[in-house]
Structure 1
Amino acid sequence: MKGAILVGILYQAEDPLYWAIWLFILFALMAFNELGRVKLWAGIALFAVVPLVLTVFVWPTTAAPGNPYGTGTWFNWVKTYSALAGCLGFIALRFVKWRGADGRTHHLYEKRWALCFPPLILAINIAEAVIRDFQVFGFGLWQGGIVENLWTISGPWNIMNGIAGILNIVTICGWFGIFISKDSARDMIWPDIIWAWIIAYDLWNFAYTYNCISDHSAYCGLALLLACTIPTFFIKKGAWLQHRAQTLGLWIMFVMTVPQFADVLAPIPTTHNPAAFFAVSLLALASNVALAVFQFRRIRQRKLNPLTDELYVDTKAYQRVVEENS
């Protein structure tokens, strides 16, 4: 039933083979994310060595400006390296240590300035997408059209979702509570990013991909978001941003390398129905407004500082994450 709704309202690819490929992509992203999470050597290979080789030998051709698949835009290049910067920065937070002059071992995650990196890279990635939504509105393609080799349509949904993204940035909280798990994987745990924020983010990000990368959104929106949300709820709780950065890095490297995938090899186009664009952006805006109202009320009632305090320490979701990773 749910699949029929997705096909009928949001997407028009009814060939079961394409949805089977979609499912394979979802599980492949989750598998490589898990490999990069539990093995340090794999994380370095996937997010440092592989992209270095691709940057020199592959992407200048497959992601050249003006290529017929739209991967040569400023946005794709910026998104690629900002995602990889996040992956490598989080690996550094998890594993970098040194012996100080006092003879003691010090860890990077103990430095408060280092804990500002995760919210900063997250906010930058959201802001990039917000700018793109507003840019698509500025194209004035009220009936739809091709821009940078991608079909898109301008409308109020771009403004609605841009506002949702700004609210999503404003509601990022509790980064000074980030810590490293005590198990062998040494995951970066951010307990204040609870399920409510994750769902609001997912709805906003899906609407962004639907609005701005419309015919690719089944992969870079739906599959990619599930690839980090499923592990957050069922495999390693509290490590959402780490899952998000790694799956995003994996996907965008794949797209930059095989740019024809979503258009030629396994296309799942949207219905190009303005009502669908409006609906997904309205849902994203409503969820982020609700989150912002709830969070600001919580800050006021508990007299918290949103820049230095954790907001959800008294919730079961927060406490469960801390217990499982301490």
Structure 2
Amino acid sequence: MGFLYNMPNIEGWGIAIAVLFTLMAFNEFARTTRWGGISMFIVLPIILTIFIWPTTAAPGNEYGTGNWFNWVKTYSCLAGAIGFMAIRFIPGLSKNKYVLIFPAAILALNIFEACIRDFQVYSYGAWDGEIINQLWMMSGSWNIMNGIAGLLNIVAICGWAGIIISKDKSKDMIWPDMIWPWIIAYDFWNFAYTYNCISDHSFYAGVVLLLSCTIPAFFIKKGAWLQHRASTLALWIMFVMSVPQFADKIAPVPTTHDPKAFFIVSLVALLANVALVVYQFNKIRKHKLNPLKDEIFTDSKDYKLVIKENT
């Protein structure tokens, strides 16, 4: 990864692994206990909003956490985590077809916010790289490519009408139609977004954070990727808002600031999402499906496995 980052030493790798497993552990705590979710995503944010964030995320602070995007992202992530808990634990909500639009809508909103940010970074005209709002960034064609990749990823969101609640004790929000091609395309896009827009924070906010939800989705609780993503993202952004110096001074892993790296990362994200949309629309056309109502991947092995494990 030396092409992308000035890699950390052994101590730095230890910190990264500790962050990864801490996020996964708190995600499991919030997932498997109702009171854990309430304490993590309702009680804790209220305390932080009143007593901590007005100082650590004040506008214009030296770590860049005081910009509009950080604040909007924080509360939209928390809205997702809380909304998903409501769907999981309030009887009847998971049976309401209009309520099930919420997970897809909040996901699309979060992606769209990031697309706007990529386009905004391009508009800065920082072609050689510069510090803007206390964050180093470099404008380029990669911002446009990845903004388009994100919009394609939104287009490919499908199958929310098939969301169910698992029958086990944890009552997870299961989205069977969100299979691995979409998840991987999302990961490529989101990593490119962090690389483009919060470059020197992207090792944690991109690599580590994406692993913290992708690993559970593949190996711990399949079908619950969006729930894992909302929880780990909310946990991470609350931490960053509270300890903004972490990625800059405590455990920095800066990017190489190489334009070739930016271009390749966003090109991969764009190609992955083009491939996803083509694959998905071919299935829609072949089986004459309505992507706003029908599940698309019901014939896949992954879909069938998720249904078998959770019903």
- Would the TM-score normalized by the shorter structure come out above 0.5? yes
Question: Residues 152-191 of structure 1: matches in 2 within 5 Å?
Answer: 152-191=137-176
Amino acid at match of 2:14: A
What are the superposed Cα offsets for residues 253-288 of structure 1, whole Å, 9 maximum, x if unpaired? 000000000000000000000000001100000000
Match status 1:40 vs 2:34: yes
Aligned residue in 1 for 2:273: 288
SS in 2 for 1:146: strand
Note the C-alpha offset of 1:178: 0.1
Question: Residues 69-108 of structure 1: matches in 2 within 5 Å?
Answer: 69-97=63-91, 107-108=92-93
Unaligned segments of structure 2, at least 5 residues = none
Q: Among residues 281, 304, 311, which one is paired with 1:319 in the alignment?
A: 304
Amino acid at match of 2:199: S
- State how far apart, in whole Å, the 1-side matches of 2:192 and 2:176 are: 25
Aligned residue in 1 for 2:60: 66
SS in 2 for 1:27: helix
What are the superposed Cα offsets for residues 96-124 of structure 1, whole Å, 9 maximum, x if unpaired? 12xxxxxxxxx111111110000000000
SS in 2 for 1:19: helix
- State how far apart, in whole Å, the 2-side matches of 1:176 and 1:13 are: 43
Q: Among residues 251, 255, 264, which one is paired with 1:279 in the alignment?
A: 264
Note the C-alpha offset of 1:70: 0.2
Q: Once superposed, what is the RMSD of the aligned Cα atoms?
A: 0.5
Q: Among residues 11, 14, 18, which one is paired with 2:8 in the alignment?
A: 14
Aligned residue in 1 for 2:206: 221
Q: TM-score, normalised by structure 1?
A: 0.95
Unaligned segments of structure 1, at least 5 residues = 1-5, 98-106
- State how far apart, in whole Å, the 2-side matches of 1:57 and 1:304 are: 50
- State how far apart, in whole Å, the 2-side matches of 1:187 and 1:252 are: 22
Q: TM-score, normalised by structure 2?
A: 0.99
Match status 1:132 vs 2:117: yes
Identity %: 65
What are the superposed Cα offsets for residues 188-242 of structure 1, whole Å, 9 maximum, x if unpaired? 0000000000000000000000000000000000000000000000000000000
Note the C-alpha offset of 1:301: 0.8
- State how far apart, in whole Å, the 2-side matches of 1:45 and 1:308 are: 35
Q: Which moved more, 1:13-22 or 1:73-82?
A: 13-22
Count of matched residue positions in the alignment of Structure 1 and Structure 2: 311
- State how far apart, in whole Å, the 2-side matches of 1:203 and 1:291 are: 12
- State how far apart, in whole Å, the 2-side matches of 1:286 and 1:42 are: 39
- State how far apart, in whole Å, the 1-side matches of 2:221 and 2:55 are: 37
What are the superposed Cα offsets for residues 275-305 of structure 1, whole Å, 9 maximum, x if unpaired? 0000110000000000000111110111000
Q: Among residues 273, 292, 297, which one is paired with 1:307 in the alignment?
A: 292
Aligned residue in 2 for 1:193: 178
Match status 1:241 vs 2:235: no
- In the alignment, is the contact (CA less than 8 A) between 1:13 and 1:267 conserved in 2? no
Note the C-alpha offset of 1:14: 3.4
Note the C-alpha offset of 1:13: 3.2
Match status 1:25 vs 2:10: no
Aligned residue in 2 for 1:143: 128
SS in 2 for 1:114: coil
